[in-house]
Amino acid sequence: MSVATASTDLSEAFRAKLREGPSQKAIDALIGAGAGRPRLERVHFSDRRPVLLQYAAGHETLLAEWVPDAGKERAAETIRRLCKPRHGQARGCPEARIVADRDFILRTSGLDERLPGLRLLYDAEAARDLVGRLEGANPGPITPQLVAHRLGKRAVLRLDAADGKGRYARLRAVKSDTGQVQFARHLALWRALGEHSRLRIPEPLGEDPALGLSLYAPLAGHAPRFFGLDGYAACRDITAALRTLQLLPLTDLPVHDTGAETAILRDWYRRTRSVFPGLAAKIHAPLDRLRTDLAALEPLDPVPTHRDLHEKQIFIAGNAAGILDFDTLSLADPALDIGNLQAHLFLAGLHAGRSLQAFEWALLIGMPDLPVARARLWRRAALLRLAMIYAFSDTAPDILHRLIAEAAR
């Protein structure tokens, strides 16, 4: 079967499909007529899986796999697998929610033959039994809700129970031990934090490897408000949380150095050049300068680093910051998280129509031992990466160009 993956140049046929999107007939079959054209949110690439396109269509999320010449048979096989008794998701009515659409397999989110834990979305009794088994007490009736889903990789369910306690189930594919490794790292991080730590993370409640599931308590608090005094207070709490993380004695973590960052940027540049050569031409010079600067960066002792920090993963409560999603927890440059968060704040400011750069500087004030130039370097890397990632979406071209221009300053 021929698929477009991250390790190959993307074909002209794929470039055309990216511009065209799913057919209206397929969209209407899945979510009904009148929904209008969906908005392309992200394109996910993998070395082993088909390219995945994620669309927003009203309140629905549509997932489209690019599978040239094998759409109908692949869709039929997917439906058969989802209807199998063991760990199946037949109650999700896959035959009505998965269609072959020319060279796409198009589905609504929440059905995934590689994530058996999604059966809990359609089986509230099984969800109640699982929570009772992991926690040792019957939580009462549970109402599962889908929070997020990346096809073949991961999903998050919110489990609202009669006992009033909130819970989140993170789901992973069971054909690898990735989920178990990440739960073990999260548990080690939880144990390393003190009761009154300035960094809070979701409390781990248990795991079920057979379902690829790990269960967590929710984080209290609210999203940071980057406006006025509240914004400066949030920056203070975020940097205190990051300093706490960096001082933890966690050594059994993967290492992410400048070479690994350069490799990620190189892959995204190759994809961008294959599909958007005009945009790649604008990225070429600032990316070359960035590679040179990363290669010349004086190494520092690596520290525990979130490595995917952005404002949507942060909750503020009291004088502490809670942070979600430590899947990419690594040993890395002390400036990486600050630079990455600064780049996301710059992007958030573009969307909001107002500058958030005062809060970018406030983050640096909270890390007085961190060289400004070092943080700015990692900020440039994140700005270029974001520009290339969101090129594969319906993000306005002006925003992409401003990200690139900011990285080139």
What pLDDT, on the 0 to 100 scale, is given for residue 345?
Answer: 98
**What is the model's pLDDT at position 6?**
41
Higher-pLDDT residue of 16, 229:
229
Percent of the chain whose pLDDT exceeds 90: 83
Give the pairing type, strands 255-256 and 330-332.
parallel
Using one digit for the tens of pLDDT, what is the confidence trace for 172-215? 999 888 899 999 999 999 999 988 899 999 999 999 999 999 99
pLDDT at position 202 is: 96
Nearest residue to 327 (alpha-carbon basis) of 299, 345, 307:
307
**Per-residue confidence (pLDDT) for residue 14, from 0 to 100:** 82
Residue 231: pLDDT band with limits 50, 70, 90: very high
Render pLDDT for 21-60 as a digit per residue (tens, 0 to 9).
888 899 999 998 777 789 999 999 988 888 999 999 888 9
Overall pTM > 0.85? yes
Q: What is the pLDDT of residues 147-184, one digit of tens each?
A: 999 999 999 999 999 999 999 999 999 988 889 999 99
- HEC string of the chain? CCCCCCCCCCCHHHHHHHHHCCCHHHHHHHHCCCCCCCEEEEEECCCCCCCEEEEEECCEEEEEEECCCCHHHHHHHHHHHHCCCCCCCHHHCHHHHEEEECCEEEEECCCCCCCHHHHHHCCHHHHHHHHHHHHCCCCCCEEEEEEEEECCCEEEEEEEECCCCEEEEEEECCCCCHHHHHHHHHHHHHHHCCCCCCEECCCEEEEEHHHCEEEECCCCCECCCCCHHHHHHHHHHHHHHHHHHHHCCCCCCCEECHHHHHHHHHHHHHHHHHHCHHHHHHHHHHHHHHHHHHHHCCCCCCEEECCCCCHHHEEEECCEEEECCCCCCEEECCCHHHHHHHHHHHHHHHHHCCCCHHHHHHHHHCCCCCCHHHHHHHHHHHHHHHHHHHHCCCCCHHHHHHHHHHHHC
- The pLDDT value recorded for residue 9 is 61
Residue pLDDT, tens place only, 351-398: 999 999 999 999 999 999 999 999 999 999 999 999 999 999 999 999
Under the banding of pLDDT at 50, 70 and 90, the label for residue 115 is very high
Sort 387 into a burial class: Cβ within 10 Å, 0-12 / 13-18 / 19+. Answer: buried
Residues ≥6 apart with Cβ < 8 Å to 22: 38, 55, 62, 64, 101, 104, 106
Q: What is the mean pLDDT of the chain?
A: 93
Tell me: the pLDDT tens digits for 256-295?
A: 999 999 999 999 999 999 999 999 999 999 999 999 999 9
Instruction: Determine the average pLDDT of the residues in 226-230.
Output: 95
Q: What is the pLDDT of residue 84?
A: 87
Mean pLDDT of 316-333: 94
What confidence category does residue 93 fall into, taking pLDDT thresholds of 50, 70 and 90? Answer: very high
Residue 146 has pLDDT above 50, yes or no: yes
**What is the model's pLDDT at position 72?**
87
Count of all residues that appear for the chain in the document: 409
Of the listed ranges 69-73, 135-139, 302-306, the one predicted with least confidence? 69-73
Name the band, by pLDDT with cuts 50, 70 and 90, for residue 4: very low
Judge contact between 151 and 74, C-beta under 8 A.
Answer: no
